[in-house]
Amino acid sequence: MNTTVLAWLVTTNIAAFVCFYFDKRRAISGGWRIPEKTLLTLALFGGSLGAKLAQHRFRHKTRKQPFAAILNLIVLAHMCFAIAWTQPNLREHIKQVLISL
């Protein structure tokens, strides 16, 4: 894996985890909240593992719908992408699709 991609994934997952932590603390104290759109965007752009770990660890937004369902779909999409990426034929096809975007 490219070091830039790895750095991006590590940073994004840490950011998602930390944002969930602070949002949970603010929910408890009644402070300013991090918008759900921001949390889901962090998950979508590579932080789904950090978001899911934080959701479980802090018991945050586990029953909130449609947030929980959308986060689960993002995790599922990332899992499918990771599995497809391990298949050489699919990896080349994915590269071509990404390049064409």
Look at residue 5 in the predicted model and tell me its pLDDT: 87
H helical segments located in the chain: 3-29, 36-42, 48-58, 67-85, 88-100
Q: Decide if 74 contacts 49 (C-beta within 8 A).
A: no
Any idea where the domains of the chain sit in the sequence? 3-100
User: Digits of tens for pLDDT over the chain (101 positions)?
Assistant: 689 989 999 999 999 999 999 999 999 999 999 999 999 999 999 999 999 999 999 988 888 899 999 999 999 999 998 888 888 888 888 888 888 98
- Burial letters for 37-64: b for 16+ Cβ neighbours within 10 Å, e otherwise? eebbebbbebbbbbbbebbeebebbeee
Look at residue 89 in the predicted model and tell me its pLDDT: 84
| 78-96: pLDDT as tens digits | 999 888 888 888 888 888 8
